[in-house]
Amino acid sequence: MGIKIIVDNKKARFDYEIIEKYEAGLVLTGSEVKSIRAGNVNLKDSYIAFRNGEAFLQNAHISEYQSSSYNNHEPERLRKLLLHKEELDKIMGRVQEKSLSCVPLKLYFKGGRIKVEIGLGRGKKMHDKRQSIKQKDAKRELAKTLKRSR
């Protein structure tokens, strides 16, 4: 029951301070699954939208499968997320009450199924982003000096 990461949404981790994480399934068509297996997916500007008590993945770009026939899927269609009712109610309540954002963090295979990790997060301010960049640069410099000393 290994986990194989397909795509990681680094921009979401840069733009948001992630507070909680959840795992959800996706409702996909056959050509979408084949395209995801080929690695033709992008979560960069995607987010989770709530409609009629259900959660949907919006603006996730899954490219059309090259070897598919004429009935291919739309690259940026709404994709329903599969969550337990209690989880869905909890997430929707937190998004509405505390003005948090719900964004997809990564897409991965788990036990032959495609799962999406969604995160509840608060948007970072510009100074927080600068701090993240400084920390990343400091780690990079430290790694370089350690490599040189060996």
* Annotated domain spans of the chain: 3-124
pLDDT one digit per residue (tens) for the chain, 150 residues: 678 889 998 888 888 889 999 999 999 888 888 888 888 898 888 989 999 989 999 998 888 887 777 777 777 888 999 999 999 999 998 888 887 889 999 999 998 899 999 999 888 787 777 888 888 889 999 999 988 888
Which helix (DSSP H) or strand (DSSP E) does residue 107 occupy? strand 101-110
Place of tokens 């068509």: 29
pLDDT at res. 76: 80
pLDDT at res. 40: 87
Handedness of CA 120, 100, 10, 8 (dihedral sign): positive
pLDDT at res. 129: 78
pLDDT at res. 16: 87
Q: Which CATH fold would you assign to the domain 3-124?
A: Small Protein B; Chain: A; (2.40.280)
pLDDT at res. 25: 93
User: Is the pTM here over 0.75, yes or no?
Assistant: yes
pLDDT at res. 1: 60
